[in-house]
C-alpha cells in the first residue's frame, strides 16, 4: 500500500468489485504519521472491507493494525466513517453468498486416503446447502413466497458470524481499555513532572548547583560501574583479607602439637596388647 498516494476527492464514491460504496468524510487526524490512517488509507480500508467482508483482511490489505481501525471507528467525528463501515459489511456479505453458491453448485474437493496415503480426491456436493441457497434466493419458487428459516448450514454460518463479531467487539473493547490506560499513565507522568519542576523551582541557586553536581556524579558512577563493596574508602568495602580472616576464625586449624607424626613412642605400649603381624621385627 502506497502511503504517499495523493488523496482523492472526498465526495468521490469508492467503487469495489461488488458495487459502489457511499461517499464518506475521512476521520480527521491530529498528526500526520507515515504509518497513520490518512484519508486515502481510510478509503482503501473501506473498499477492502467491502470486497472481503473481514476487518482483519482489510487491515492487512492496507498494512495497518486492527486496533487502529477500531479506535478510528470510535472517534467522535467518525459518524460518516462508521456509516461507510456498515455499508461495506453489507457488500461483504455478498461474498459469503457467492462462496456458498459456488460450493452448492460445484461442490468441494475432498482428499481421498488409502492406508494413510493420499491417493486422489473427489468432488462432494452439499444438497442441503444448495436447497438453502435456492430457498433464500428464490423464495417465491422454493419456499412458498418467503425465505425459509435457517437450517443447519444457516445456523453454522450464524454462529461463525457471531464469533467473528464477538472477536471484533473484544478487540475494540481491549483497544479502548489500552487507550484509557495509556491516557492515565500520561496524566500521572505529567503530574510527576509538574511536581518535580515545582520542587526544583523553589530551590536556592546554591542547592540547584549542588543538585546538578549530584546528578552528574551519579551518572559518572553508573557509567564507570561503581560498586561500594569494591571501594576501599567506602564504609561498606568488603576487603578480601578480612573475608579470609573471618573464615579462619570460623574454622580453626588443629594444633600442630596434636599431630600423629610427633606422638610419643610409648603410646603404642600404653594402648595394650596387640596381634603380631609378618611385618613386625623379631618374628621367628
H-type alpha helices, the chain: 39-52, 55-62, 66-73, 79-106, 127-137, 139-142, 152-201, 205-224, 240-250, 267-270
- What is the structure's pLDDT at 44? 93
Query: Worst-scoring range by mean pLDDT, 119-123, 132-136, 172-176?
Result: 132-136
Helix (H), strand (E) at residue 238: none
Q: Which of 24, 35, 22 is nearest to 73 (CA)?
A: 24
- What is the structure's pLDDT at 59? 93
User: Do residues 136 and 148 touch, judged by C-beta distance below 8 A?
Assistant: yes
pLDDT-above-70 percentage for the chain = 71
Interval 200-254: pLDDT, tens: 889 899 998 998 999 899 898 888 888 887 888 888 877 766 666 555 565 665 6
Query: Worst-scoring range by mean pLDDT, 19-28, 124-133, 196-205?
Result: 124-133
Q: How many residues does the chain have?
A: 284
- What is the structure's pLDDT at 89? 87
CA distances from 56 to 63, 165, 231, 267 (A): 10, 12, 59, 95
Helices 55-62 and 39-52 pack at an angle, to 10 degrees, of 140
pLDDT at 256 > cutoff 80: no
Q: What mean pLDDT comes out for the span 44-63?
A: 90
Please tell me the distance from the alpha carbon of residue 110 to that of residue 122, in angstroms, as a whole number. 5
If pLDDT is split at 50, 70 and 90, which confidence band does 11 have? Answer: very low
User: Do residues 137 and 147 touch, judged by C-beta distance below 8 A?
Assistant: no
Query: Going by C-beta distance under 8 Å and a sequence separation of 6 or more, which residues neighbour residue 63?
Result: 1, 3, 35
Q: Which of 150, 158, 10 is nearest to 84 (CA)?
A: 10
pLDDT at 87 > cutoff 70: yes
Burial label, 72 (beta-carbon count in 10 A; 0-12, 13-18, 19+):
buried
Interval 159-170: pLDDT, tens: 888 888 888 888
If pLDDT is split at 50, 70 and 90, which confidence band does 282 have? Answer: low
pLDDT at 10 > cutoff 60: no
pLDDT at 65 > cutoff 80: yes
Q: What mean pLDDT comes out for the span 99-123?
A: 85
Amino acid at each position: 500500500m502506497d502511503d504517499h498516494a495523493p488523496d482523492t476527492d472526498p465526495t468521490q464514491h469508492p467503487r469495489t468489485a461488488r458495487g459502489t460504496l457511499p461517499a464518506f468524510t475521512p476521520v480527521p487526524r491530529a498528526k500526520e504519521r507515515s504509518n497513520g490512517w490518512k484519508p486515502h488509507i481510510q478509503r482503501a480500508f473501506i473498499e477492502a472491507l467491502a470486497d472481503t467482508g473481514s476487518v482483519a483482511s482489510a487491515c492487512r490489505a492496507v498494512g495497518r493494525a486492527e486496533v487502529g481501525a477500531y479506535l478510528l471507528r470510535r472517534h467522535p467525528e467518525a459518524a460518516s466513517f462508521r456509516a461507510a463501515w456498515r455499508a461495506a459489511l453489507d457488500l461483504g456479505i455478498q461474498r459469503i453468498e457467492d462462496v456458498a453458491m459456488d460450493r452448492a453448485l460445484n461442490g468441494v474437493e475432498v482428499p481421498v486416503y488409502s492406508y494413510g496415503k493420499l491417493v486422489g480426491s473427489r468432488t462432494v456436493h452439499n444438497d442441503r446447502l444448495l436447497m438453502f441457497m435456492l430457498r433464500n434466493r428464490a423464495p417465491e419458487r422454493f419456499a412458498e413466497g418467503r425465505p425459509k428459516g435457517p437450517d443447519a448450514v444457516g445456523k453454522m454460518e450464524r454462529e461463525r458470524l457471531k464469533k467473528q463479531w464477538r472477536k471484533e467487539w473484544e478487540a475494540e473493547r481491549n483497544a479502548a481499555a489500552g487507550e484509557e490506560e495509556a491516557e492515565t499513565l500520561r496524566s500521572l507522568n505529567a503530574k510527576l513532572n509538574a511536581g518535580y519542576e515545582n520542587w526544583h523551582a523553589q530551590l536556592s541557586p546554591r542547592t540547584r548547583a549542588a543538585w546538578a553536581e549530584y546528578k552528574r556524579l551519579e551518572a559518572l558512577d553508573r557509567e564507570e560501574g561503581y560498586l561500594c563493596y569494591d571501594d576501599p574508602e567506602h564504609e561498606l568495602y568488603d576487603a578480601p583479607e578480612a573475608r579470609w580472616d573471618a573464615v579462619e576464625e570460623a574454622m580453626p586449624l588443629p594444633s600442630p602439637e596434636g599431630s600423629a607424626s610427633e606422638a610419643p613412642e610409648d603410646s603404642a605400649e600404653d594402648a595394650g596388647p596387640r596381634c603380631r603381624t609378618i611385618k613386625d621385627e623379631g618374628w621367628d
